[in-house]
Homo-oligomer: A and B are copies of this chain.
Amino acid sequence: MAGATLKDVAREANVSIASASRAINGLDNVAEAVKVRVLEAAARLRYVPHGGARSLVTSRTNTIGVLLPDIYGEFFAEIIRGVDVAARARGLHLLVSGSHGNPDEAVRAMRAMGGRVDGLLVMSPFVESHDLAAILPLSLPVVTIASRIGSGQGSISVDNFGGGVTAVKHLLEQGCKRLAHISGPSHNFEAEERKRGFLSAVRQPSPVVFEGDFTEESGYRGAKAFLASGPLPDGIFVANDMMAVGCLLALSEAGVKVPQDVALVGFDDIPIARFTSPPLTTLRVGIFDLGRRGLELLVAALDEGGMQEHEGLVVTPELVLRDSSRHKTG
């Protein structure tokens, strides 16, 4: 009832607990007969090794902590999936903590994970370098994904600025003259970078920017705002696909044709993007790969003993051309 221990298995198999341990762990310095007897005993007793005891003596938890922000939906899921697949391939467990709405919560979560993981994968727009430094044991490798801080043993980030520039250039090439932007929330680092890219590439005196919050609804409101005020833009760069979907709906309700009247470029290439009407031109970041490569970077750091500095990896978003931006008014 209370869970069999290695001692129980050893007794049942008539061997020492040292031999039992070796058999369970598949070491080769065990007689075949002993191995068989131990494994059978273990199965009979439903023996499950106590991970804590093991990690106490090996000083390895084989667990990676994953700290996520309070982002919902596809993006979140894809990152985890990438991390998860890569972790399983290496026999690593994942201790996940998500939904941190503010820096304090995130820091508390990191603290709580500290003693149970070999390394940390942090994806949080909140956590600052000095928070990390204050809270973690010196020896815990940290890799950040798409976060503000670039410290730790490595980082993977997305060139959001470059993505914004690419979007604008593309719209200009399509012949758009009056560009507008629906941005993400201003406290979000990635959102700010995309906006900065937009502003730096746009060739207009004072381009219209509507601040959304990455939800479909705010995209809807953004388009409504454009429709209500002044001349309608003929090209909109929307900071994520979710908002672009809301934007499409508002435009379609207003009888505005996409891309004939207004060309649209989103960001993320969420699965739904190719199924909107018209399909959405967008900037794709391999989200799954972001997670996968983040974990790989962390594992590399662990293998090296943890203290090497790695350069930040920067992933460039790729323009995925679909009908929502085939403008060509010219």
Indicate whether A49 reaches chain B with its CB closer than 8 angstroms: yes
- Identify the closest chain B residue to A78 (Cβ): B72
Q: Is the CB of A51 within 8 A of B116?
A: yes
Interface size on A, residues (CB 8 A): 64
Query: What 0/1 pattern do residues 47 to 60 of A give for CB contact below 8 A with B?
Result: 11111111110000
Indicate whether A112 reaches chain B with its CB closer than 8 angstroms: yes
Query: What 0/1 pattern do residues 1 to 23 of A give for CB contact below 8 A with B?
Result: 11110000000000000000000
Among B3, B72, B73, B116, which residue has its beta carbon within 8 angstroms of that of A93?
Answer: B116
How many copies the complex holds: the figure is 2
Binding site for B on A (CB under 8 A): 1-4, 46-56, 61, 63, 72-74, 76-78, 80-81, 84-85, 88, 91, 93-99, 109, 111-116, 135-140, 215-216, 220, 242, 245-246, 248-249, 252, 271-272, 274-277
Among B73, B78, B84, B272, which residue has its beta carbon within 8 angstroms of that of A96?
Answer: B84
Q: Is the CB of B138 within 8 A of A46?
A: yes
Q: Is the CB of B77 within 8 A of A76?
A: yes
User: In whole angstroms, how far apart are the Cα atoms of A271 and B139 in the complex?
Assistant: 41
- Identify the closest chain B residue to A253 (Cβ): B277
Q: Given A3-B139, A52-B55, does the pair A94, B93 have CB atoms closer than 8 Å?
A: no
User: In whole angstroms, how far apart are the Cα atoms of A136 and B48 in the complex?
Assistant: 7
- Given A73-B74, A84-B98, A94-B96, 5 new contacts (CB under 8 A): A49-B114, A52-B115, A80-B98, A84-B99, A96-B96
- Identify the closest chain B residue to A53 (Cβ): B56
A232 to chain B, nearest CB (A): 19
A-B contact pairs, 11 of them (CB 8 A): A3-B139, A46-B137, A47-B137, A51-B61, A52-B53, A72-B77, A84-B96, A84-B97, A85-B99, A215-B271, A220-B275
Q: Is the CB of A114 within 8 A of B48?
A: yes
Across-interface contacts of A81 in B (CB, < 8 A): 72, 98-99
Q: Is the CB of B216 within 8 A of A63?
A: no
Across-interface contacts of A113 in B (CB, < 8 A): 93
User: In whole angstroms, how far apart are the Cα atoms of A74 and B74 in the complex?
Assistant: 6
Across-interface contacts of A114 in B (CB, < 8 A): 48-49
A164 to chain B, nearest CB (A): 24
Q: Given A56-B52, A94-B97, A216-B271, does the pair A3, B80 have CB atoms closer than 8 Å?
A: no
User: In whole angstroms, how far apart are the Cα atoms of A52 and B118 in the complex?
Assistant: 12
Among B1, B49, B63, which residue has its beta carbon within 8 angstroms of that of A139?
Answer: B1
Across-interface contacts of A84 in B (CB, < 8 A): 96-99
A151 to chain B, nearest CB (A): 16
- Identify the closest chain B residue to A47 (Cβ): B137
User: In whole angstroms, how far apart are the Cα atoms of A48 and B108 in the complex?
Assistant: 12
Q: Given A48-B114, A73-B77, A277-B277, does the pair A93, B97 have CB atoms closer than 8 Å?
A: yes
